[in-house]
Homo-oligomer: A and B are copies of this chain.
Amino acid sequence: MNGDISSGFPDGEFAARTSAAQALMAQAGLSALLLTTEPEVRYYTGFLTRFWESPTRPWFVIVPAQGKPIAVIPSIGAHLMRQTWITDIRTWQAPDYDDDGVGLLADTLRAVTPQDGKIGLADQMESHARMPLGSLRQLKGALAQRRLVSDATITRRLRMVKSEAEIAKIRFACGIADRAFARVGEIAHEGTSLAQVFRKFQMLCLDEGADWVPYLAGAADQGGYGDVISPATDRPLTKGDVLMLDTGLVWSGYFCDFDRNYSVGAPSDTLQHAHDCLIAATQAAFDMARPGAVLSDMFQAMSAVINPDGEAMDAGRLGHGLGMQLTEWPSIIADDHTPLVPGMVLTLEPSINIGGGKIIVHEENIVIQSDGAAYLSTPQTHAMRVLE
């Protein structure tokens, strides 16, 4: 079977990820990893489907101490899973009100781990167990002496450093968004409702090659906006508005995540100054982003430009990891001292308070390379984009 069909990666990519996890599992004394969420399952198997949108069925993959991962999944997914590099695929006819996969999962875990084995399950920040808590209790009971323990953040750590093939996908996704952002003038004018701008912008993303557009947020208001996570309203664009569009579109299973700001009519001096600060802050973080620097230094470099007084920020951070998910580990905050290493893909996302409860936010996507950073999004210049 060919991993290319559903994932666009050669099988070797998944074998390498699995081996890397198994080395860390040995260090942590884990006999297996139990995976329950979309990105975890896809990371090791290449199983790519939008069917996770349905909350009905749990899906399980086990990474044993040696050998390929084992899929324990609803039968509706067997045909697609057989197109990945996974060969041991065990299924049940879900939903089953008597036993929705827990018995099959426990049998499989008992078969591939020793009696006193420890089975790692993600339990730290940015994780959750995508299975009913009742099923998790049943599973613990069915494992006898085996214990479910922390996965020691193994998958989170591996995913933080991307392969060249992953970076290529993210770069391609960024290029699609670059082209869509360049066409906003075609669809957004004074008088256009924000709801219509949102619909038409998603159409532009698809037209430029996105597979789908899982995330679009934005805002438009006079001189700035109140938040960056709201859905659209029917309010028409008005002269003096700043329109912000922030998209996480997907290509071949990988996200971009950046925004662009548009002034409706010529920007005021205040707005242009705020935009200048955001571009300068982004560039300050970019300039110091190289192996050996730490994330908190990037936070301080941006803060010095946009928030010299150190006020509390609603957003809570100034950027984050990016890849199979819209946001990934780590966060660019004062408390994150993770050293940068080649292959990390990050967003730089400074925001600035302009008074009156309003903010402006800017975002770019970068990759850490051996000799510094490179932009994956085409960086915004100081000159604001203007809509007429």
Contact among B53, B198, B233 for A326, CB-based, below 8 A: B53
Q: Is A76 an interface position by the 8 A CB rule?
A: yes
**Contact segment of A16-24, A25-33, A105-113, A200-208:** A200-208
Counting chain B CB atoms within 10 Å of each CB, the highest count among A55, A134, A328 belongs to A55
Contact among B97, B128, B198, B327 for A54, CB-based, below 8 A: B327
Alpha-carbon gap, A313 to B126, bound state (A): 35
Q: Measured between C-beta atoms, what is the minimum distance from A96 to chain B in Å?
A: 8
Contact among B123, B132, B217, B229 for A132, CB-based, below 8 A: B123
Which residues, 299 to 339 on A, are CB-close (under 8 Å) to B? 312-317, 320, 325-328, 331, 333, 335-336
- 1/0 contact trace for A186-229 toward B, CB 8 Å? 00000000010011101100110111111111000000001111
Q: Is A294 an interface position by the 8 A CB rule?
A: no
Contact among B80, B93, B128, B230 for A128, CB-based, below 8 A: B128
Q: A76 to B229, Cβ gap below 8 A? A: yes
Q: Is A144 an interface position by the 8 A CB rule?
A: no
**Contact segment of A44-52, A265-273, A362-370:** A44-52
Give the nearest-CB partner of A54 in chain B: B327
Q: Is A231 an interface position by the 8 A CB rule?
A: yes
Alpha-carbon gap, A312 to B91, bound state (A): 12
Q: Measured between C-beta atoms, what is the minimum distance from A57 to chain B in Å?
A: 8
Given contacts A93-B313, A134-B123, A327-B56, contact A213 B213 (CB under 8 A): yes
Q: Is A248 an interface position by the 8 A CB rule?
A: yes
Contacts of A228 in B (CB 8 A): 76
Counting chain B CB atoms within 10 Å of each CB, the highest count among A75, A94, A209, A229 belongs to A229
How many copies of this chain does one complex carry? 2
Alpha-carbon gap, A74 to B125, bound state (A): 14
Alpha-carbon gap, A122 to B293, bound state (A): 43
Q: A129 to B126, Cβ gap below 8 A? A: no
Q: Measured between C-beta atoms, what is the minimum distance from A80 to chain B in Å?
A: 5
Given contacts A76-B227, A79-B226, A215-B53, contact A97 B336 (CB under 8 A): yes
- Report, as a range, how many residues of chain A touch the other chain: 35 or more
Q: Measured between C-beta atoms, what is the minimum distance from A251 to chain B in Å?
A: 11
Q: B195 to A199, Cβ gap below 8 A? A: no
Q: Is A77 an interface position by the 8 A CB rule?
A: yes
Q: Is A5 an interface position by the 8 A CB rule?
A: yes
Q: B128 to A49, Cβ gap below 8 A? A: no
Q: Is A98 an interface position by the 8 A CB rule?
A: yes
Alpha-carbon gap, A137 to B335, bound state (A): 23
Given contacts A50-B215, A93-B312, A314-B78, contact A129 B123 (CB under 8 A): no
Q: B214 to A79, Cβ gap below 8 A? A: no
Q: A198 to B215, Cβ gap below 8 A? A: no
Give the nearest-CB partner of A314 in chain B: B75
Alpha-carbon gap, A133 to B123, bound state (A): 5
Given contacts A198-B211, A206-B202, A207-B203, contact A128 B123 (CB under 8 A): no
Q: B333 to A95, Cβ gap below 8 A? A: yes
Closest 3 CB pairs of A and B: A123-B133, A79-B227, A51-B229
> Using a CB–CB distance below 8 Å, which chain A residues touch chain B?
5-6, 48-51, 53-57, 74-80, 93-98, 100, 121-134, 137, 150, 195, 198-200, 202-203, 206-207, 209-217, 226-233, 248, 312-317, 320, 325-328, 331, 333, 335-336, 357
